[in-house]
A and B are shown apart, each in its own frame.
Chain A
């Protein structure tokens, strides 16, 4: 192998997002182009994990300048090579344009989307080749594991994690150090560590990004956790829908084994640790700890009552510690930099950073990692660049299907575990969906409840039967069939399900409904009493379309697209819509070349 010193590195993102927008093809094109121009000895292409800005993918960063190119296409490759790499001129048109100023920003670090972020869990994502253990090690990888295993006692590690204030990033927010303490205190001949990578919240993909972009960090976190609690075996429970994450994790485990970082007598410490991957079939409920363990054991993924807690009786009846991917990704940092450094970030009871998946009606969507305590306004307007088409902000939904909707009044709320719960939402795994005035809040509640109802494992009565009845009520409200008393019944059922369900899924499933009733009760009332959907999104309540005879040119295009044959030729030179037949789908309005059709 030839050792070269390269004058430039091209980092091309090969996370799932960028791969699906074509980054693999661009990489091959680049490879050919560099070969044609005899540049392969001078310029190195590095495949990296996700940058978090998937919407702008495929993303390509060229170092040492740190120039950030986005939405690159195959046909742009020649220009990048000729202009940037040969002539040293930045390709302006491929730079990111700040939505607020329309200015092109050449450098990665100057983009608003990245400026306010503080990356700990995602620190290596997009920077290193996730398939190279050497690159991970070169970035201080496995240093924390070395320190933990050779210089620290398990008790010291647990103390360190406790005083860091790290709380579970999977949703519950339970103090990680305390969890480790419980597992450590359980006496047993055998213990397990499990990494929960059953990321199930719709729209959330931070765990996938970490596994794809920095798999060794998770392995390192698990080694440290295993050593701390006295477990010599671990499982990563990852959904089978994440093939790339699984592939990279597999390679990472193999590489770590080859270097003796997994296996027996790691770092000569006498500590042994082996790691397996268990693929899950993608049931949302398997993110719940007891269901997850049942699934690893080969049983149906159904939660079991607690106690016994996994820390005392977990996988195959043995004490087990389960942490989420993002939680584990914080561990090497805490050990390397110390708990004080970690706890200097964040708020009183929520330390460190949190990764959010920012989506919805917002200009910059993607993965963002911000210090706890950052306000919603900063996330939405500074990092997210504000709402698309500069529409009016209505609410932000946090915490996925278990979370709630937060209205405008709380935009300055500092994001942390407790403040989110206080306003009826929750941290969850970090989903954030921004909604504008065209979003119907009853429909949002219905969307999330449809998800939780169909993902309920069906074991306990309130979750299985109760969410179904709530969903039926929401359906009839959206269809204009709501009755007096429906809101109160929803509230009563919602509280009941929260209070009596067996596991976290049922205990939080009503949250989207209850929080939208809390903040947007008037919208529910409008649906029930006025038979109107204020956001105009519930089709059954939308009014029929009408054709303006003066503008209509009788081209007949609307007739062709109407799915219910509601449009016919009038006696004059225009068309008419039969209001009784029209389902307000809006297809005719979109098709009309002269804007003659509008909702009446």
Chain B
């Protein structure tokens, strides 16, 4: 690769040709502030906050979109550059509500950080204050809410939705000062093709897109002595929530997470990894049956609610390929109000189920009409990792000082297979692990399919070679699905996760999020799996008990009633 050398702030820098000035500066430890730039997205060049001065022409250039050229001399700190940067931030602030104290992103807002570091004062904004944008908010939900008045039109959400997810639920609309980011025809989120994945919320630099919070409902339930509150924490949470309390990304803090949940007042604290194991048994049996009958192949996973809704909008013709097994969250909630109620002799109507999820789409999933198996709603509330962290901080729990505790046993016991559900490739690996051993009695060597947008592997199971593929990020899934639609897919089993890197990169995870962090979080889960004593779902003793005592066998009549579901076609718009 050709090298280019240039001078940034009097430092000589040598970088690859095609590198932007912003990236080149970063390589020598100079952080140029920015708002619209995002390393995972295409270049946009809109906020003009990253302007630097080209000392040859004395002109200002946006460093994120300016490629380095040989001999270039750049100042990121000249008076001219700093003034211009400040002016652009002030211009944004003059059209941004002065509502930091009440904002979900207070403390994790990029605009707030830049305002603070540039030392912008109230008078600076007042000098040019005038009309501010006043358009209706979209708070219909069920997963996300949008406040276009906070939006600074950086376009990250538009780009992530189009480029990474291939959904394009959001676009720029109107012109000039009236420009906004909105949905087609300004329809509420509930009425469009949005997958509820929440990737937009993870890239939004301000509080314009956030999850619909259910914290209040959960506090109310915890406060009520007549209600028995059951918590389930998704597999990825243990590897991500630590970031909210100062741990390095990827640090697994399972024991402290359990302890914190108990301190918050949950009556029992379980893990969704338990029903992840259960999913493997149900879905594994389903897959085996399909393979034997050579029917509805490839078999496609359905544990990711973002992916499921996307499929309902875009691939309704392929819905028969989806596993009918419910997601671990919904299996868990269904069992909480049936099996658990029976075992503990608690009236199921008094049980309130709360799931801690890395995900905003889970908030939508719990509202699906056909999802409930118990008399009431199976899942009562879904908290994102961020929401749970907020609750822990609210009551002043010193997370780092907590003593490690274990999950309650009945539905907390889990295997390494359940753990890796939280990262891309995990479901496929866990499923093949069990299927292979059940069919052949042989153990599966590691597949390690994650860390790539699309990946595949071949597994010898008996006399048959089973071809497995995974995709994370819906744009990546599109490629595999188009092959299925065209009858050209060579795969038997496809795992799809809506979010890049799977649940560790979910829309409800701690912010700010980055590619590097997602990798570390995934590694954290993989390490936990490797260290687990029991690593195969079918060897989970509590799962055995569940079948022995209650369900009888995978895909039994009762399993079907409680643990399986249906899908429906949705409009493509």
Contact = CB atoms under 8 A, between A and B. Distances in A.
A502 B62 contact: yes
Given A461-B88, A462-B88, A499 B59 contact: yes
Contacts of A466: 87, 91
A92 interface: no
A469 B128 contact: yes
Contacts of B95: 465, 468
A501 interface: yes
B171 interface: yes
A64 interface: no
A572 to B, nearest CB: 48
Contact of A500 (B51, B67, B155): B51
B176 A456 contact: yes
B88 A500 contact: yes
Given A466-B91, A499-B60, A500-B60, A460 B176 contact: no
Contact of B94 (A300, A304, A465): A465
Contacts of B48: 460-462, 500-502
B11 interface: no
B106 interface: no
Interface string B27-50: 000000000000000011111110
Interface in A485-516: 489, 493, 496, 499-502
Contacts of A458: 153, 172, 174-179
Contacts of B59: 499
Contacts of A459: 44, 46, 153, 155, 172, 179
Interface string B54-87: 0000011010010100000000000000001001
B157 to A, nearest CB: 14
Contacts of B174: 458
Contacts of A600: none
A464 interface: yes
Contact of A304 (B45, B175, B178, B179): B45
A462 B128 contact: no
B147 to A, nearest CB: 18
B45 A460 contact: yes
B130 interface: yes
B65 A305 contact: yes
Contacts, number: 101
A464 B172 contact: no
B179 A496 contact: no
A150 interface: no
B176 A454 contact: yes
A89 B54 CA distance: 71
A457 interface: yes
B410 interface: no
B542 interface: no
A302 B172 contact: yes
Interface in B177-212: 177-179
A468 B60 contact: no
A489 B87 CA distance: 12
A493 B88 CA distance: 10
B197 to A, nearest CB: 23
B127 interface: yes
A138 to B, nearest CB: 45
Contacts of B177: 453-454, 456, 458, 464-465, 468
Interface residues of A, number: 31
A246 B143 CA distance: 47
B178 A496 contact: no
Interface in A86-139: none
B91 A469 contact: yes
A460 B171 contact: no
B88 to A, nearest CB: 5
Contacts of A454: 175-177
A356 B127 CA distance: 40
B392 to A, nearest CB: 37
B92 interface: yes
A305, A468, A500 pick with most chain B CB within 10 angstroms: A500
Interface string A304-338: 11010000000000000000000000000000000
A502 B66 CA distance: 12
A461 B46 contact: yes
Nearest to A452: B176
B131 interface: yes
Nearest to A284: B175
Contacts of B62: 305, 500, 502
Interface string B145-173: 00000001101000000000000000110
A297 to B, nearest CB: 13
B60, B153, B177 pick with most chain A CB within 10 angstroms: B177
Contacts of A472: 130-131
A574 to B, nearest CB: 44
A459 B35 CA distance: 13
A455 B84 contact: no
Given A468-B131, A489-B128, A461 B178 contact: no
A469 B87 CA distance: 12
Given A302-B172, A458-B153, A464 B179 contact: yes
A283 interface: yes
A307, A456, A467, A468 pick with most chain B CB within 10 angstroms: A468
Given A307-B67, A500-B51, A283 B175 contact: yes
Contacts of A307: 67
Contacts of B45: 304-305, 460, 502
Contacts of A300: 171-172
A467 B175 CA distance: 13
Given A300-B171, A469-B91, A502-B46, A464 B176 contact: yes
Contact of B176 (A455, A469, A499, A500): A455
A458 B153 CA distance: 8
Contacts of B67: 307
A468 B51 contact: no
Nearest to A308: B67
B153 A305 contact: no
A468 B153 CA distance: 15
Interface string B420-453: 0000000000000000000000000000000000
Nearest to B129: A469
A464 B153 contact: yes
Contacts of B152: 461
Nearest to B87: A496
A456 B131 CA distance: 17
A528 B127 CA distance: 17
A386 B155 CA distance: 50
A452 B465 CA distance: 64
Contact of A461 (B49, B127, B130, B172): B49
Contacts of A502: 45-46, 48, 62
Contacts of A493: 87, 128
Interface in A178-220: none
Contacts of B175: 283, 285, 454-458
Nearest to A470: B128
A499 B172 contact: no
B46 A462 contact: no
A455, A465, A469 pick with most chain B CB within 10 angstroms: A465
Interface of A: 283, 285, 300, 302, 304-305, 307, 453-462, 464-469, 472, 489, 493, 496, 499-502
The 10 A-B residue pairs with the shortest CB-CB distance, nearest first, are: A458-B179, A305-B45, A305-B65, A465-B91, A472-B130, A456-B176, A468-B177, A454-B176, A469-B128, A500-B48
Given A454-B175, A457-B172, 12 more contacts: A300-B172, A304-B45, A454-B177, A458-B172, A458-B174, A458-B178, A459-B44, A459-B153, A460-B47, A461-B46, A468-B176, A500-B88
10 contacts: A300-B172, A456-B179, A458-B177, A464-B153, A465-B91, A465-B177, A466-B91, A489-B127, A489-B128, A500-B88
Interface of B: 43-49, 51, 59-60, 62, 65, 67, 84, 87-88, 91-92, 94-95, 127-128, 130-131, 152-153, 155, 171-172, 174-179
